[in-house]
Amino acid sequence: MCGIVGYAGARPAIPVLLGALKDLEYRGYDSAGIAVLDPTGAGLRITKRQGKIVNLETALDGTAGQATTGIGHTRWATHGKPSDQNAHPHVSCNGEAVVIHNGIVENYAELRAELVAAGHTFRSETDTETIAHLLEDRLKDGDGLLEALRRVAPRLEGSQALVAMAESEPGAMVAARLGNAGGVVIGYGNQEMILASDLAAVLPFTQEVAFLADQQLVRLDRSGASFITVDGTPVELPRKRIPIDPVSALKGEYQHFMLKEVMEQPEALSDTIWSLGTLDPAELYLDDLGDARDQLATVERVMLIGMGTSLHAAMLGQRYIEALAGVPAETDNASEFRYRDPVIGPGTLVISVSQSGETVDVLEAMNVARAKGALQITICNTEGAQTTRVADGTVYTRAGLERGVASTKCFTASVAALYVLALGMGLARGKLSREELQHHMNDLARLPEAVARTLRDAPVCEREAQRFKTAGHILFLGRGLAFPAAMEGALKMKEISYIHAEGYAAGEMKHGPIALIDADFPTIAIATRHALRAKIVSNIEQVQARGGTVLAIVTEGDGQIAALADSAITIPEVPELLEPIVASIPLQLLSYYAAVQRGCDVDQPRNLAKTVTVE
């Protein structure tokens, strides 16, 4: 959620930190700040502002300054409203220790009371400020900065990722990862080091990185980094070279990252599918599953978990696993799963879907699954992310960096990856023959082109969006495999256009939503040529009989539904199991254009974050 950056090198730190913070803007934030440490003895300089990074830039007035070490932060408010005072960094009473933080100090109220009683003065309403004061006490007692942070760490309840500097240690900073409040990536440059909450801010500097693990701390200066665990044991962290082209992170010809990412889906699907298997002869690699692959044949049931868009991908994965592997499968929201004492054990395969691999509820749900002895596979778009380190095996999607807060290419890539995983399970269990696998790989091979053809109709979606842009509410209907697609269509619409939208299983419509239908309450129905098409025709008629209008997503050549609905968008015919992927494309475009036409901030919708690392 919050974005964290740190720099120690030879360049002026302020422009470096501002650039890195901009690379993290996509995470969503309400204020931003930096602290730099001047080696000439001028001490700490802290600047922070509510609102966008441009406000911070204005406050800094174009000064690069002398300082070559500093930290920066974009805040997403949890304790205390968005304001200049509550923005990070936070400093201790004597100005010695400065901190930025992602996560929640759950016992902050007690700590604050204790610190106030001991004479500390608080300047903000945040939980984070307690850390600065605790560090000050340790530094006063003679600890070095790393030791001070190590001794403060056990006092903080909850999950945290935090970075600190001290005036007494110019040129250096320390960081800790305690639990699952977001990652800390350390980037190795040439006589310069960078640190950030995610790769997006590191890759423009270097592809040589290390990931801090839970309960680890780092101290870095321009010449390198050293690591210890919370109990004080020195550790070596392996360095990885990340094969991501930073140029792909640019918007290119598109007005918004979201549109760029929607348009990238044919390539994202193709890269994902062909990183997991081949067409001729049909083979599945699934190399990153490791030993988990051997157990695909024997698991008794599957539980899929995720949040937001990834939960909708998981719902489709459930259908694939049942249809292609014949294994009982269920889906649950990770934030529910983690607290409901789920009845699972060694015979259960838990599949988590998380494009970032950092979502706190998913990680905590995975910890529950691990404690109960379940086998775990994660579907992830981020090399080396936390979920991949917890799971027994990973199926990577190859969608490239996704910056729009509203997930698009990662959604369809996750669905395709789940399809391949279901094929792998089906093959391992003898439910699918080699011939059937070949048949399915042929289907997958045609999928990117079907998506590309659908994308060529973007102008139709732009026109149709005009009809919805003034709506107060929209109902999305689908049956069978189209139900998760309807849920996802509604989520996209509300996320970026702020139009209230609900996704419903069409069969449920008569049990409530139909009461809302009138001329001002339009419906979008996924009415493709699937087995339940006749049923959705009835639903369309029922909406129209109550004065409602219907936009139908129909299969090419289906003149009957196109004529029945008030308007229609066509998609190419693909095998039924793959239809939700193609049907999602016009739904993404409709919400995108509706949001643009309503003047919304498409890439950074209000109140939302790309990666949710706090509960």
- Transcribe 290-323 into DSSP letters: GGGGGGTTT--EEEEEE-HHHHHHHHHHHHHIII
**410 carries an active-site annotation:** no
Is the CB of 452 or the CB of 608 nearer to ligand G6P?
Answer: 608
Structure tokens at 376: 């775990």
Q: C-beta of 610: minimal distance to ligand G6P in Å?
A: 5
Residue pointed to by tokens 């000050």:
136
Neighbour-count burial for 112-122, b at 16+ CB within 10 Å, e otherwise? beebeeeebeb
Is the CB of 217 or the CB of 415 nearer to ligand G6P?
Answer: 415
Is the CB of 464 or the CB of 495 nearer to ligand G6P?
Answer: 495
Residue 458 sits at φ, ψ, to 5 deg, of -55, -40
Is the CB of 187 or the CB of 306 nearer to ligand G6P?
Answer: 306
Structure tokens at 542: 């029922």
Is the CB of 168 or the CB of 607 nearer to ligand G6P?
Answer: 607
Among 240, 367, 608, 615, binds ligand G6P (CB under 6 A): 608
Contact status: 376 vs ligand G6P (CB under 6 A): no
Q: C-beta of 530: minimal distance to ligand G6P in Å?
A: 25
Contact status: 102 vs ligand G6P (CB under 6 A): no
Question: Which 165-204 positions form the footprint of ligand G6P (CB under 6 A)?
Answer: none
Alpha carbon distance 2, 320 (integer Å): 35
Question: Which 127-156 positions form the footprint of ligand G6P (CB under 6 A)?
Answer: none
Among 126, 394, 611, 613, binds ligand G6P (CB under 6 A): 611
Alpha carbon distance 267, 468 (integer Å): 30
Q: What is the DSSP letter of 85?
A: T
* Closest listed residue to residue 391, CA positions, set 350, 425, 359: 350
Our CA angle for 496, 497, 502, nearest 5°, is: 90
| Contact by Cβ (8 Å): 337, 368 | yes
Among 46, 612, 613, 614, binds ligand G6P (CB under 6 A): 612
In the sheet that holds 216-221, the strands lie side by side as 90-91, 97-103, 160-166, 172-178, 216-221, 224-229, 234-235
Q: C-beta of 416: minimal distance to ligand G6P in Å?
A: 15
Is the CB of 286 or the CB of 410 nearer to ligand G6P?
Answer: 410
Number of residues that bind ligand G6P (CB under 6 A): 16
Contact status: 604 vs ligand G6P (CB under 6 A): no
Contact status: 68 vs ligand G6P (CB under 6 A): no
| Contact by Cβ (8 Å): 136, 94 | yes
Is the CB of 213 or the CB of 608 nearer to ligand G6P?
Answer: 608
Is the CB of 336 or the CB of 508 nearer to ligand G6P?
Answer: 336
Is the CB of 523 or the CB of 613 nearer to ligand G6P?
Answer: 613
Convert residues 334-373 into a mask of x (bound to ligand G6P by CB under 6 A) and - (unbound): --------------------xxx--x--x-----------
Alpha carbon distance 136, 123 (integer Å): 15
Contact status: 265 vs ligand G6P (CB under 6 A): no
Contact status: 83 vs ligand G6P (CB under 6 A): no
Q: C-beta of 376: minimal distance to ligand G6P in Å?
A: 15
Q: C-beta of 614: minimal distance to ligand G6P in Å?
A: 12
| Contact by Cβ (8 Å): 476, 501 | yes
Our CA angle for 164, 405, 603, nearest 5°, is: 105
Contact status: 555 vs ligand G6P (CB under 6 A): no
Alpha carbon distance 189, 202 (integer Å): 10
Alpha carbon distance 584, 603 (integer Å): 18
Contact status: 310 vs ligand G6P (CB under 6 A): yes
| Span near ligand G6P by CB under 6 A; candidates 57-65, 301-309, 419-427, 467-475 | 301-309
Q: C-beta of 418: minimal distance to ligand G6P in Å?
A: 13
Convert residues 28-67 into a mask of x (bound to ligand G6P by CB under 6 A) and - (unbound): ----------------------------------------
Q: How many CA atoms lie within 13 A of 505 on its CB side?
A: 7
Q: C-beta of 308: minimal distance to ligand G6P in Å?
A: 3
Contact status: 331 vs ligand G6P (CB under 6 A): no
- Transcribe 198-241 into DSSP letters: SHHHHTTT-SEEEEPPTTEEEEEETTEEEEEETTS-EE----EE
Is the CB of 376 or the CB of 555 nearer to ligand G6P?
Answer: 376
Q: What is the dihedral of CA 165, 68, 161, 385, to 10 degrees?
A: -160
Measure CA 433 to chain center.
Answer: 36
Catalytic residue among 2, 380, 461, 600: 2
Beta strands in 249-300 (DSSP E): 277-278, 283-284
Catalytic residue among 48, 52, 492, 610: 610
Q: C-beta of 546: minimal distance to ligand G6P in Å?
A: 33
Contact status: 307 vs ligand G6P (CB under 6 A): yes
Phi-psi group of 391: left, alpha or beta (phi > 0 → left; psi -120 to 50 → alpha; rest → beta): beta
Contact status: 487 vs ligand G6P (CB under 6 A): no
Question: Which 398-427 positions form the footprint of ligand G6P (CB under 6 A)?
Answer: 405-407
**22 carries an active-site annotation:** no
Among 206, 383, 610, 614, binds ligand G6P (CB under 6 A): 610
Contact status: 309 vs ligand G6P (CB under 6 A): yes
Q: What is the DSSP letter of 165?
A: E
Catalytic residues, by residue number, are: 2, 610
Chain contacts with ligand G6P (rule: CB under 6 A): 307-310, 354-356, 359, 362, 405-407, 608, 610-612
